[in-house]
Amino acid sequence: MTELEKMRSGQFYYAEDPMLRESRNRCKRLCREANLLPPEQNAERNQMFRQLFGAAGDNLYIEPSFWCDYGFLITVGDNFYINHNCVILDSAPVTFGDNVFIAPNCGFYTATHPVDALQRREAKEYALPITVGSDVWIGGGVTVLPGVTIGSNCVIGAGSVVVHDIPDNSVAVGNPCKVIKTLDPITTH
């Protein structure tokens, strides 16, 4: 089993594997190139990210600066917007539904490390997926940790640290992030 296969399956993998390192370097080069484009070249920047991601729906818009580790493990739906200074560590799949809006300075981190110091010295890590439903607004400075699912029709308050799943139709805030209000489900017209 390759290190990439181990990484994708949630097993311990060697993060400094040459193939993984080259994939990360390629991704960082593309992110850097896209981030350096002038504001009037937003369409070109967003097209670069569309090519980097595993899949992207219509109306993708990403403000600089944006960084990710691999890119191909990120899937976004229609009407997806990221404001400035977002980081997605996509060592496992990161999936966003439709109509997702992410405020500045947010982070989505799938990668995690062993508690055992000797294993950490060996550059072993593992990753757990992050899933964000549709019609979600994530406030400024939010951190989403490995293995978390945020349901559809949710608002995550600014500065929250999301360490547990958040159910559909919720307003959740804090560190750790907790549901403080239930919203009416979205009805289609």
The model's pLDDT over 65-81, given as tens digits with 9 standing for 90+, comes to: 999 999 999 999 999 99
Q: Is 189 among the residues known to form the active site? A: no
Name the residue range of residue 157's domain.
3-182
Give pLDDT tens digits for 85-112: 999 999 999 999 999 999 999 999 999 9
Assigned domain for 8 exists: yes
Query: For the chain, what is the mean pLDDT?
Result: 95
Residue 124: per-residue pLDDT: 87
Assigned domain for 189 exists: no
Residue 42 CA, chain-centre distance (Å), reads 20
Residue 37: per-residue pLDDT: 96
Helix (H) or strand (E) holding 87: strand 86-89
- When divided into structural domains, the chain yields a total of 1
Contacts of 89 (CB under 8 A, 6+ apart): 68, 69, 107, 108, 109, 110, 111
pTM score, two decimals?
0.95
**Token output for 160:** 């929250």
Residue 99 belongs to domain with CATH number = 2.160.10.10
Residue 146: per-residue pLDDT: 97
Residue 189: per-residue pLDDT: 55
Assigned domain for 188 exists: no
Active-site residue among 84, 113, 164, 189?
113
Assigned domain for 7 exists: yes
Give pLDDT tens digits for 28-61: 999 999 999 999 999 999 999 999 999 999 999 9
Tokens 């699912």 — which residue?
Answer: 149
pLDDT band at 187 (very low <50, low <70, confident <90, very high): confident
Strand partners for 108: 88, 144
**Token output for 172:** 């959740």
Mean pLDDT of 138-146: 98
- On the 0-12 / 13-18 / 19+ scale of CB atoms within 10 A, 5 is exposed
Assigned domain for 187 exists: no
Mean pLDDT of 149-161: 98
